[in-house]
Amino acid sequence: MIVVTGAAGFIGSVLVWMLNQRGETDILTVDVHPSDAGEPNLAPLKYDRGYQTHEAFRTHLLEGGYDGQLRGILHLGACSSTTETDWSYLERNNITYTQDLCRGALRQGARFIHASSAATYGDGSAGYVDDHDGLDDLKPLNLYGKSKHEFDLWARAEGLLEEICCLKYFNVYGPNEWHKGDMRSMVCKGYEQVRDHDLVRLFRSDRPEFGDGGQQRDFVYVKDAAAMTLWLLDHPEANGIFNVGTGQANDWNTLMSAIFRALDREPNIEYVDMPEHLKGKYQYFTQAEMGKLRAAGCDVPVTPIADAVRDYVVNHLATRRHLGG
């Protein structure tokens, strides 16, 4: 069986959906709250092994449960808030818990794939190369990024990067992210602004080398990110740290214009000052170096940004349709 943690969440539920698309239903879903099994992201999906809370799953795994049954653990469950300030919580939830699952999976000879984050790269001054030796040079800008970075460092120190995958997801957007509140992608929030006010507000730039709305990110559609993840599930010979992105940075103006065009409207963008609490912690440029994953043999195509945004807007945002629904 395949275990997906964070299964009621964003990327986790998309992985379950994509496994279903492949005809796979021997899946155990895991998330935080007992009620999550009935959440909209999971409701349309098939997972024959049922649902467990994250603590129940950890306990059973560490006690030797599932022996001989595990094909792999896709560990997407974590606190993903970039504004979380409780380090002790992040340490327990994002580091210690992940270490426990990693050990449990490896003891049973199961594949372990963990969601790291592009937030580990900080301001990008050390580049965006998924090189194990370069981990020491990275300085995340927030505690969330630090928590992901600390696990990557631990895995390297323990000699585990030859056995597991740590995936540095870049700016993922797409269906099934409604529950994320302020952590939703700007495509989701921008669509609502266009729908309700016929305009989108973006931050002004406070760096001269970037125009207003010209800050650039590697925006990757969740369906593409999930397909790359499942490629790694299917190829246990490929291990280590991998970027998951497109390899092409786009600026916010391009992304927001794609929303307007998907709705057959002319772009209407207004610029506002960046909040003080974000200054010095805001990434102005991210672009995944994708050569390592491609060299491993991953041939999953990347959906062009205009096509991906149109699919998300027309088939999901405008209809409030979850994947599988």
Amino acid at 184: R
- Distance from C-alpha of 11 to C-alpha of 226, rounded to nearest angstrom: 7
- The residues near 206 (Cβ < 8 Å, ≥ 6 apart) are 274, 279
DSSP annotation of 166? E
The active-site residue out of 47, 51, 128, 144 is 144
Dump the DSSP string for 221-250.
Answer: EHHHHHHHHHHHHH-TT--EEEEES-S--E
Asked about 169 being catalytic, the answer comes back as no
CB 171 within 8 A of CB 286: yes
Question: Which SS3 state, helix, strand or coil, does residue 209 take?
Answer: coil
The active-site residue out of 139, 180, 189, 281 is 180
Q: How many helices (H) and strands (E) does the chain have?
A: 10, 13
Nearest to 168 by CA among 136, 201, 145: 145
- Distance from C-alpha of 64 to C-alpha of 50, rounded to nearest angstrom: 19
First-last CA distance in the chain: 23
Beta bridge partners, 84, equal none
Asked about 279 being catalytic, the answer comes back as no
Which residues are tagged catalytic?
144, 180
